[in-house]
Amino acid sequence: MAKDILKINYEKYNLSNGLEVILYPDKSQPLAAVNIWYKVGSANEKKNKTGFAHLFEHMMFQGSENVPKEGHFRYIQEAGGNLNGSTSIDRTNYYETLPANSLELALWLESDRMGFMLGGLTQEKLDNQKGVVMNERRQRYDNQPYGRAWELLFSNLFPEDHPYHWPTIGWMKDIESFELNEVRSFFQTYYSPNNSSLVIAGNFELEKVKILVEKYFGEFSAAQVPQQPTTPGFLLDKVKQITHEDNVQLSRIYFVWKGVKAYDKSDAALDVLAYILSSTKNSRLHKSLVFDKQIAHDVSAFNYSAKLDGSFIIYSTAKPQTKLDTIREEIFILINEIAEKGISDDELVRAKNSLRSSFIYSLQKIDTIADQLNHYNFYLGEPDSLIFDLSRYENVTVEQIKNAAKEFLANKYVELKIIPKNSANDK
């Protein structure tokens, strides 16, 4: 495959206030995408003060000194565009895609968020959004079947002083206790130009956009941003087994192992290992548990690598009358098989072909490219890292997959069983 088609010709520079600006002109379509990453996620929170970063995913749509409540949605949608935001353990992201002739509107709205948010932040808005976030937590976590699985896994895998110990949405008691002065302080600490990167991609004139970026973002002052949190080195010294009763019909078993940071030398091999375990109907776990033995309703494996640390996860939902211990036994037979004998060349080729397709597919949409540029800039410091990223997977060998299974999945892990309430099964 010619690597040139994956090369993204961008320009990157910094404003005097520290804002990173990444411009990618592409006149092949009449659209423009604006994508801003603030380098703040739930990892930047503290014990008993969790959920602030996710709260701002909501608060940033509540208007400011200059934009009315919900105005961001109304203005962008009336211009024919779409917008949203997201929060992870590492970063917070806001983005818009709209007709190119409305690009200045998106820049004004994003600059308004950065510079004039606090002027419109009232106790009434905070109370309203606390209620929204608590309802979201009830819907997506507390009252959602299997909804508490991820926070149970990560809070047991990562020690209490680890920045990935708590869920991104925060603990309910912490959300209830948000105070206006704390929220204001969190914003002033992290949502500054020198803690963010702005990507503009699509149909625009390079020099004209530079003038607009200076016009809308150049006046803001840099802030004193704390250093990124550090992580305690750790490995579990024993297997942690947890059973959680929930409003579910089918029992499910989860396993999580400590993994590696994003782009660590073993990261790509763990991604490929996860693909070989469960990503297709012919993958090892799916074929055995779901198709051949028909003991599981589903099975999934994935490697989750983040800025500071990582994890490797497998979960499977049991068929009625299947004991979760039966599923556990079969999963470990197949893991040990890879650790001892490796995989076939055909399995590796299929995995690489699929991953290569996903890389090429990601270049089809301008908003996806904009987000990729911010992603690589954040994790690698080089926005145009698509070719490097793809090469990591193309260079993975059978031996590396075998070693990854042996090195990481032989360690102690957290095992979580979620079973129907009042069920004697699998207790």
Over residues 69-95, mean pLDDT: 96
Supply φ then ψ for residue 15, to 5 degrees.
-75, 165
CB proximity list for 393: less than 8 A, separation 6 or greater:
268, 271, 272, 351, 352, 355, 356
pLDDT for residue 426 is more than 60: no
DSSP characters over 175-216: HHT--HHHHHHHHHHHSSGGGEEEEEEES--HHHHHHHHHHH
Percentage of the chain with pLDDT > 90? 93
pTM above 0.85, yes or no: yes
Mean pLDDT, the chain, rounded, equals 95
What is the side-by-side strand order in the sheet with 240-246? 240-246, 414-420, 252-258, 310-318, 296-305
Q: Side-chain half-sphere of 350: how many Cα atoms within 13 Å?
A: 17
What does the pLDDT look like over 238-262, one tens digit per residue? 999 999 999 999 999 999 999 999 9
Measured at the CA of 398, the angle between CA 392 and CA 404, to 5 degrees, comes to 75
What is the per-residue pLDDT for 3? 60
Over residues 299-324, mean pLDDT: 97
- Yes or no: say if 409 and 301 are a contact pair by the CB < 8 Å rule: no
Over residues 72-89, mean pLDDT: 96
What does the pLDDT look like over 356-382, one tens digit per residue? 999 888 889 999 999 999 999 999 999
What is the per-residue pLDDT for 232? 83
What is the per-residue pLDDT for 427? 47
pLDDT for residue 1 is more than 60: no
pLDDT for residue 264 is more than 60: yes
What is the per-residue pLDDT for 2? 58
What is the per-residue pLDDT for 422? 78
What does the pLDDT look like over 142-200, one tens digit per residue? 999 999 999 999 999 999 999 999 999 999 999 999 999 999 999 999 999 999 999 99
What is the per-residue pLDDT for 394? 95
Read off the tokens for 134: 């608590």
